[in-house]
Amino acid sequence: MSKSNNGSGNGGKGIDDSKQQQQPPAYDPNFTAQVIAATGPEAHPRMAEIMPSLLHHLHDFAREVNLTAAEWAAAVDFLNAAGKMSSETRNETALICDILGLESLVDEITSKLLIHAAKDGAAPATPSTVLGPFYRTDAPILPNGSSIVSADAYKLWAGKGNDMTCLVSGRVLSATTGDPLPGAMVDLWLAGPDGLYEQQSVAVPDMNLRGRFQTDAEGHYSVYCVRPTPYGIPDDGPGGALLNMLDRHPWRPAHIHFIVSAPGHNTLTTQVFDREGEWIKNDSVFAVKEELLVDFVAREGDDKAKWSLNYDFVLPEV
Ligand code: BEZ
Ligand code: FE
């Protein structure tokens, strides 16, 4: 393993201070400043603000690990492969960000900024978590109490889904007043009992296990779907190669995704996680939060659902 080298000439452990001071810098100490100074006066303001920091971290990383030309070329190939694999139905670059914990971190930063900007609340707002790469806009808008599982999908899952039928219901509330929010939109999507989202499986009908539901006058929504199961994130591309190189598993705990919006309130992107499911403490994309753990309850007397989940979403006012 090579010694770390920060370009200021004081890299290397066990060397006393006087010797360190005598060493010339390993790499050109003016190089990063020169690259930063190349930014022109007409640069995009946010880019001009953040790029000096990015360049410092990026160059320091390369110096610290003594990144070689061959390693850099491998990283470029990796990024190119992720880009080439990405399409309407597969976002490999976003997946790599998830594997690296970047989407979870950015979600935490964004939600802290929104909470600071929001009015003081009567109730704590529901925490957000990552969107993930499988969201599709324009899911069908359906009446409350409808099912988002197509009959064909049950056949396809070879009976697996029959024991998993589930009614998900609850209310959308204002964090500011605690009052229900009529006319809020609850957009949800989840993977099937085969562990696949609708767009990952050619056999499953378009928009299966996706739907949008508007809350009624009391702020209620309700939808029949299936109790979610754990699934592995796609690992047949560069993201999977990365997981392999890091000796990591691809599993996500069972969850349902939601985007909840209401006029005058911050839109919430989140997931709820089956408390009893596997991988809850070991999510491959680091998205689980304590407040988002839920309990599915056995349901009696309803032909359409063996399970139920009641969950309220609380949105801060803008
Ligand atoms: C998902 O839950 O859909 C997901 C999130 C991050 C990476 C892969 C999948
Ligand atoms: Fe998911």
Q: What is the pLDDT of residues 98-117, one digit of tens each?
A: 999 999 999 999 988 877 66
Residue nearest atom 9 of ligand 1, based on CA coordinates: 132
CA dihedral sign of residues 47, 26, 245, 284: negative
Residues, CB within 5 angstroms of ligand 2 (ion): 132
How would you label 18-37 residue by residue, b for 16+ Cβ within 10 Å and e otherwise? Answer: eeeeeeebbbeeeebeeebe
Helix axes 92-99 and 102-117, enclosed angle (nearest 10): 80
Give dist(CA 231, CA 220) in Å, integer.
29
Q: Give how far Cα 244 sits from Cα of 235, 239, 281, 313, Å.
A: 9, 9, 20, 37
Q: Provide the pLDDT for residue 90.
A: 85
Q: What percent of the chain lies above the pLDDT cut of 70?
A: 92
**202 φψ region: left (φ > 0), alpha (ψ -120 to 50), beta (else):** alpha
Residue nearest atom 6 of ligand 1, based on CA coordinates: 132
Give dist(CA 102, CA 123) in Å, integer.
29
Q: Provide the pLDDT for residue 116.
A: 66
Residue 187 or 111, more confident: 187
Residue nearest atom 3 of ligand 1, based on CA coordinates: 132
Q: Provide the pLDDT for residue 119.
A: 65
Whether 2 has a pLDDT exceeding 50, the answer reads no
| Ligand 1 proximity of 243 Cβ (cutoff 6 Å) | no
Instruction: Tell me the CA–centroid distance for residue 188 and ligand 2, in Å.
Output: 11
Whether 233 has a pLDDT exceeding 80, the answer reads yes
* Range from 17-21, 88-92, 207-211 carrying the lowest mean pLDDT: 17-21
> Is residue 3 very low, low, confident or very high in pLDDT (cuts 50, 70, 90)?
very low
> Is residue 240 very low, low, confident or very high in pLDDT (cuts 50, 70, 90)?
very high
Q: Are 222 and 145 in contact (CB under 8 A)?
A: yes
Q: Are 116 and 316 in contact (CB under 8 A)?
A: no
From the list 118, 187, 146, 126, the residue with the least C-alpha distance to 311 is 126
Q: What is the pLDDT of residues 34-78, one digit of tens each?
A: 999 999 999 999 999 999 999 999 999 999 999 999 999 999 999
Whether 9 has a pLDDT exceeding 50, the answer reads no
Q: Could you give phi then psi for residue 172, rounded to 5 degrees?
A: -110, 125
Q: Provide the pLDDT for residue 1.
A: 34
For 173-198, what is the mean pLDDT? 95
Q: Are 296 and 168 in contact (CB under 8 A)?
A: no
| Ligand 1 proximity of 97 Cβ (cutoff 6 Å) | no
The residue type of 136 is: R
3-state secondary structure of 251: strand
| Ligand 1 proximity of 130 Cβ (cutoff 6 Å) | yes
Instruction: Tell me the CA–centroid distance for residue 194 and ligand 2, in Å.
Output: 13
> Is residue 18 very low, low, confident or very high in pLDDT (cuts 50, 70, 90)?
low
The residue type of 83 is: G
Q: Which atom of ligand 1 is nearest the CA belonging to 99? A: 7
Q: What is the pTM of this model?
A: 0.88
For 158-184, what is the mean pLDDT? 91
User: 98, 100, 243, 258: which to mutate for ligand 1, most atoms within 8 A of CB?
Assistant: 98
| Ligand 1 proximity of 285 Cβ (cutoff 6 Å) | yes
Please count the other Cβ atoms lying within 10 Å of the Cβ belonging to residue 38.
8
Residue nearest atom 4 of ligand 1, based on CA coordinates: 132
